Amino acid sequence: VSIYGMIFGLMSLAKEEDVLLPKKVLRWVGGFLTTILVLMGPLWILRMIPNILSNQPAETYGVFVMDLGIVFPAIGLITVMLFKNKAFGKILSGVALIKTCSLCLTWGFAEIYGPLVRQLPIAVEMVGSAAFFTIISGILIVPYFKTLKIPKRR
């Protein structure tokens, strides 16, 4: 039900000019979303290569596939729309920030909890990456929602 609510809500926007987001916030959010794609896409592919070559899927293989097949393309489309100053990009960039914050927070906890349960060393670089993306997305959510303006329909 929620996906249809979002689609109809977005379709109800009269004009693209109606949605206002300051250029500074637009650039910061767009730059951050681009950073996610530039850093995480290759990292996920590099982490999958040994499993692919050994023909042994890892426990987290589904996460990689879902991120590379759904999440990253969605973030890419949102980022392009955002940099083109499109209303959908401005609105969906907030969704991407919230999604990034929640996904990276759970990813960070998983990177700590999984090794502790299995008594393996914690991958500090992965915990650090998750923490970085969680903190930055959490910080960017505040000015995004403070400055996003969607005028009421007449």
* Residues of the domain holding 64: 20-147
Q: Please state at what angle helix 23-54 crosses helix 124-147, rounded to 10 degrees.
A: 150
38-43, long-range: CB within 8 Å, 24+ apart, which pairs?
A: 39/129, 40/67, 40/72, 40/129, 40/133, 41/68, 41/72, 43/129
Q: Is the separation of the CB atoms in 105 and 45 below 8 Å?
A: no
- For the cut 50, the answer to whether the pLDDT of residue 70 exceeds it is yes
Distance of alpha carbon 144 from the chain centroid: 14
Helix (H) or strand (E) holding 59, with range, is none
Instruction: Give the residue with greater pLDDT, 1 vs 108.
Output: 108
- Rg, the chain, Cα only: 18
12 in a domain, yes or no?
Answer: no
Query: pTM higher than 0.95 for the full model?
Result: no
In a domain? residue 6:
no
**152 vs 99, residue with greater confidence:** 99
- For the chain, the domain total comes to 1
**Given a cut of 70, is residue 15 above it in pLDDT?**
no
The conformation of residue 154, written as its DSSP 8-state character, comes to -
Block residue for tokens 């950073």:
35
Q: Is 138 a member of any domain?
A: yes
DSSP one-letter code for 17: G
Virtual torsion, Cα 46, 52, 57, 63, nearest 10 deg: 40
Provide the residue type at 25 as one letter. Answer: V
Residue 8 lies in a domain: no
Tell me whether residue 24 is in a domain.
yes
Kindly state the tokens that stand for 56. 């042994």
The answer to whether residue 124 is domain-embedded is yes
User: Which has the closest alpha carbon to 149: 15, 20, 9?
Assistant: 20
**81 within 8 A of 92, measured Cβ to Cβ:** yes
Judge whether 153 lies within some domain: no
Residue 66 lies in a domain: yes
Model confidence at 89: pLDDT above 80? yes
